[in-house]
Amino acid sequence: MAADRYQPREAEPRWQAAWAEKQIFETRNDDPRPKYYVLEMFPYPSGRIHMGHVRNYTMGDVVARYMRAKGYNVLHPMGWDAFGLPAENAAMQNRIQPRTWTYDNIAAMRAQLKTMGLSIDWSREFATCDLDYYWRQQKLFLDMLKAGLAYRKSSKVNWDPVDQTVLANEQVIDGRGWRSGAVVEQRELTQWFFRITAYSEELLAALDTLDRWPEKVRLMQRNWIGKSEGMRVRFAIADEPPGVDQAIEVFTTRPDTLFGASFLAISPDHPLAGGLAADNRGLADFIAECHRTGTSAEAIETAEKKGFDTGLRVVHPFRKDVALPVYVANFVLMEYGTGAIFGCPAHDQRDYEFARKYDLPIIPVVAPLDVFDKDEELVAWLEQFAAGNEAYVDDGRIINSEFLDGLTVAEAKEAVAQRLEAASLCGAPQGRRQVNYRLRDWGISRQRYWGCPIPVIHCPTHGVVPVPDRDLPVKLPDDVSFDRPGNPLDHHPTWKHVACPICGAASLRETDTMDTFVDSSWYFARFTAPDAATPTVKEVADRWLPVDQYIGGIEHAILHLLYSRFFARAMSVTGHLSVAEPFSGLFTQGMVVHETYRRADGSWASPAEVTIADDGGKRVATEKATGDPVEIGAIEKMSKSKRNTVDPTDIIDTYGADTARWFMLSDSPPERDVIWTEEGVAGAHRFVQRVWRMVADAAEMGLKLGRAGESLPNAFSPDAMALRKAAHRALAAVEDNIRALRFNVAVARIYELTNAIGAALALLDKQRNDGLDHSLGAALREALELLIEMMAPMMPHLAEECFAALGHKELVATRPWPQIERSLLVEDTITLPVQVNGKKRGELTIPAGASEADIQSAVLGLDTIRRALGGKAPRKVVVVPKRIVNVVL
RNA sequence: GCGGGCGUGGCGGAACUGGUAGACGCGCGGGAUUUAGGUUCCCGUGACGAAAGUCGUGGGGGUUCAAGUCCCUCCGCCCGCACCA
């Protein structure tokens, strides 16, 4: 019964055409069934898809196909994150228009993606560089401007000297541009910002509602928002006439340690520092030196805490006789709090180091709880502390602090707050409570061509004038040149010259474009009505959103996901939708990694260039072309530089999309990295062929199996019953595991069922000449059909081919998910492991309904148990129903 | 430094709220089919042991009839953030 091999190259396009022809993945907004929105992070059109895309989109497709089979109206769209610098770089290098380059890439990648057999609604496809999309984005911007969520300010920006553009804080990594890797400079520019900080608290608090997000991502966002509760405290400058300007305001989260203060420190960028430096040469030099020190991680790590005594003195708020020196210090950031701090060396490590260096007092004001009320121990602790070289930063009770003595840290914070709020300094309260966030407003201006133009006009009379809706879109010109650095829009001879919409005077267009993170902050909403003349159709967006399952890489844990959360709120305020959170379920998948291969000369060899052989249990690599030995290196993320990439198209050409999909889902848990191996792919392909062979063999035995759609007999032989149980149990397990996105376990369950079917098939084949067990034939057909249906979300083409081979006319893709026969999940007899003193000594097979007493006596009657007991009487017998029996001596 | 995650055979990994550790796959060994290789099918595969059995989830300790799972402690690896007052 030699069956032909399954030919994916022939079968896969045929089924893809069948699905396309019936338009079964095109989703209607007016479909009354419950909705389910699955989305994978859309790709940047770099030109070729990579294995990371294959993994990402396969996972999403499994969920989409499964939920469709479960009766949901599934939205599963695809688009392109198409603006951005690489298109301009290509323009400069290859003298090709960014537009042409981008759309060519999209066409190539779309064709590649389509070979994967994804159940995507391609009718909703768009690219963010489509005029139709960025036009609506300009509308969103104008609405946000009106709502006060977009504004312009002059600010110090991160300037990337290589890409010649401004970067968001989030795009600066260790002081370098996230794309170019160039050391970032600080420049003063007028920039557009989105007021994301208006939602600091909201974005933080709502993280608690995102219970289907990875804890890790929520934590990263929490840290990024960086809430801290503290106080602003004003210190009066000594020997100056009282006046509001004669105070320095600091931010602190430890007002309880105020009596331990021994100095104030202000940032080199603090206005006061600048003022003082005007007639203090030494200070001016010090500030200049601070600016020279890098902001990279190493620089900060190794930088010494340095300060410069300004000569100013301030008055301690509670001890008018104590004057504290004011330093300019290199470790105080102007961007955080007020740009000034009070130093409490005893309870802050940085302040401690600073005090040691400049010989300032170190006054302990918090004592550990366990020594606080024991005089001798407290004295000993104080001595030990004085002899040590570390600040005490843990909890405790207050000492050396007049009215605070004996209070807990929390009580002391409250007491200080009340005093300072009541106290007055120069006509204002001396202190006030303040919640501070690390989150900054989002700078979106980019001095770049290939992005969404910011739709405003600068009029000499009226200043910034929004482009009226009737004049939208502000269209990117095609005739731009890239022969000099800087922004081509700015260089364009005519584009920026326009009349003011208010007075008609000659004015200039804004030539900055938006950060591409803006484009990806609302695309999920646009998919719900991709052809609408407005950014969204509110009722439609509200019906579809939030995205039920969003899948993508962990690298977007902060930027993209936080911006999208902000946009959902901004779009609610401006009337485009009314959901707060864009993604109710988030899954972050692991990377695809591969071995690296290095030649003797140090160059990298690609997997396609080497042959792996087994040499006495050790894997060795040789170069295909020359036979030279190649060193097998570390397993790393697939990258062009290490040349350890595998092209999805090569794999699909060789093995078919189903094999690639199946391998991506097997073995590794989806949140972890998956190691791409030739052996693994071959194994996946072996399984594809095995399933096909089984189906073909079964089809050949046609008569024994009954026909497609034929109902099952009433009675089953024990063999048939066992197979039915295995099939329905597998179905239940696969369903549970797909729901939990535990695809690797679902795959294992499918393998198990396949093994069971293989055994049953062999049994039936043996009966060829003997008496036929017709009920086994029927059970086999049922099991095979269930197998096909449960693997269909993962290997959709193979499933269709198999289903057709069994005589079905219908597509698997349009069939409802099979019903589990619950009665088959219940065992009538069960096998319990039996332990003696916690070690397994035997097994007991007994009716499921047996009483505890029956089980006990049956257990004690087992030979293996009697032998293990050696004639001794058990002390007790623990019976855990349906699980285990433990006989205790 | 702060925060989080992880540690199970040769490898990737299973193991529900404590209840048969190693499902499933890869690799490896043996056998059958084949002119041969490959393919395919069958059997075996945690370690030690002839066997009975003993040991075994990073190390050590604890709770429990029972621990990969809970508690304490130590070690190692990975990731994120980081002069945030």
Residue A333 has pLDDT above 70, yes or no: yes
In sequence order, the β-bridge partners of residue A450 are none
Select from A105, A144, A94 the least CA-distant residue to A127.
A105
Residue A234 has pLDDT above 90, yes or no: yes
- Residue A520 to residue A815: CA distance in whole angstroms: 34
Confidence band, pLDDT 50/70/90 cuts, at residue A368: confident
pLDDT of residue A128: 98
Please, which residues have CB within 8 angstroms of residue A601's CB and are 6 or more apart in sequence?
A: none
Q: Tell which wins on pLDDT, A58 or A765.
A: A58
- Residue A705 to residue A772: CA distance in whole angstroms: 11
Asked which of A27-41, A252-266, A270-284, A563-577 is least confident by mean pLDDT, the reply is: A270-284
Q: How would you write A497-529 as a 3-class SS string?
A: EEECCCCCCEEEECCCEECHHHHCCCHHHHCCC
Burial of residue A626, with CB atoms counted within 10 A of its CB: 0-12 exposed, 13-18 middle, 19 or more buried: exposed
Cβ of residue A634 lies below 7 Å from strand B: no
pLDDT of residue A471: 95
Confidence band, pLDDT 50/70/90 cuts, at residue A703: low
Confidence band, pLDDT 50/70/90 cuts, at residue A296: very low
Q: Tell which wins on pLDDT, A241 or A659.
A: A659
CB A763 within 8 A of CB A707: no
Q: Kindly write down the DSSP assignment for every residue of A363-394, as one continuous string.
A: ---EE-HHHHT-HHHHHHHHHHHHHSSS---S
Q: Tell which wins on pLDDT, A386 or A62.
A: A62
pLDDT of residue A704: 63
Asked which of A228-242, A289-303, A621-635, A671-685 is least confident by mean pLDDT, the reply is: A289-303
Mean pLDDT across A4-19: 94
The C1' atom of B58 and the CA atom of A673 lie apart, in whole Å, by 22
Q: What percent of chain A is modeled with pLDDT above 70?
A: 95
A887 nearest nt, CA–C1' = B65
Q: What percent of chain A is modeled with pLDDT above 90?
A: 58
Cβ of residue A327 lies below 7 Å from strand B: no
Residue A244 has pLDDT above 60, yes or no: no
Mean pLDDT across A508-536: 97
The C1' atom of B68 and the CA atom of A490 lie apart, in whole Å, by 64
pLDDT of residue A814: 96
Residue A297 has pLDDT above 50, yes or no: no
Confidence band, pLDDT 50/70/90 cuts, at residue A768: low
Per-residue pLDDT tens for A705-749? 677 777 788 888 888 999 999 999 999 999 999 999 999 999 999
A831 nearest nt, CA–C1' = B20
* Token code pair at residue A493: 């001879």
pLDDT of residue A732: 95
Cβ of residue A748 lies below 7 Å from strand B: yes
CB A5 within 8 A of CB A42: no
Cβ of residue A881 lies below 7 Å from strand B: no
Asked which of A410-424, A533-547, A600-614 is least confident by mean pLDDT, the reply is: A600-614
CB A61 within 8 A of CB A119: yes
Q: How would you write A432-500 as a 3-class SS string?
A: EEEEECCCCCEECEECCCCCCECCEEEECCCEEEECCHHHCCCCCCCCCCCCCCCCHHHHCCCCCEEEC
Asked which of A234-248, A301-315, A453-467 is least confident by mean pLDDT, the reply is: A234-248
Residue type present at position A560: H
Confidence band, pLDDT 50/70/90 cuts, at residue A616: low
Confidence band, pLDDT 50/70/90 cuts, at residue A849: confident
Confidence band, pLDDT 50/70/90 cuts, at residue A827: confident
Mean pLDDT across A555-569: 93
Mean pLDDT across A579-583: 93
- Residue A686 to residue A185: CA distance in whole angstroms: 55
pLDDT of residue A444: 92
Nearest CA to the C1' of B20 belongs to which residue? A833
Give the mean pLDDT of chain A. Answer: 89
pLDDT of residue A374: 82
Per-residue pLDDT tens for A430-444? 999 999 999 989 989
- Residue A821 to residue A817: CA distance in whole angstroms: 13
Q: What is the ipTM of this complex?
A: 0.94
The C1' atom of B44 and the CA atom of A833 lie apart, in whole Å, by 24
pLDDT of residue A838: 83
Neighbours of A157 (CB within 10 A): 21
Cβ of residue A686 lies below 7 Å from strand B: yes
Burial of residue A233, with CB atoms counted within 10 A of its CB: 0-12 exposed, 13-18 middle, 19 or more buried: buried
Sheet of strand A586-589, all strands in order from the earlier edge strand to the far edge: A73-75, A35-40, A549-553, A586-589
Per-residue pLDDT tens for A744-755? 999 999 999 999
Cβ of residue A228 lies below 7 Å from strand B: yes
Mean pLDDT across A219-234: 92
From residues 64-93 of A, list those within 7 angstroms of strand B by Cβ: none
A838 nearest nt, CA–C1' = B66
> Which residues in A185-224 are b (16+ Cβ under 10 Å) and which e?
eeeeeebbbbbbbbbbeebbebbeebeebeeebbebbeeb
CB A805 within 8 A of CB A696: yes
Nearest CA to the C1' of B23 belongs to which residue? A748
pLDDT of residue A608: 85
Asked which of A183-197, A209-223, A694-708 is least confident by mean pLDDT, the reply is: A694-708
Confidence band, pLDDT 50/70/90 cuts, at residue A372: confident
Select from A102, A105, A124, A122 the least CA-distant residue to A114.
A122
pLDDT of residue A318: 92
pLDDT of residue A427: 80
Residue A1 has pLDDT above 50, yes or no: no
Q: CA-based Rg of chain A, rounded to a whole angstrom?
A: 35
Q: In sequence order, what E strands does A692-762 have?
A: none
Q: Tell which wins on pLDDT, A671 or A863.
A: A671
Select from A365, A442, A411, A406 the least CA-distant residue to A198.
A442
Cβ of residue A200 lies below 7 Å from strand B: no
Cβ of residue A669 lies below 7 Å from strand B: yes
Angle at A628 between CA A624 and CA A629, to 5 degrees: 105
Residue A2 has pLDDT above 50, yes or no: no
pLDDT of residue A169: 65
- Residue A343 to residue A341: CA distance in whole angstroms: 6
Most confident of A373-387, A687-701, A803-817: A803-817
Per-residue pLDDT tens for A438-465? 998 998 998 889 999 999 999 999 999 9
From residues 100-159 of A, list those within 7 angstroms of strand B by Cβ: none
- Residue A639 to residue A645: CA distance in whole angstroms: 6
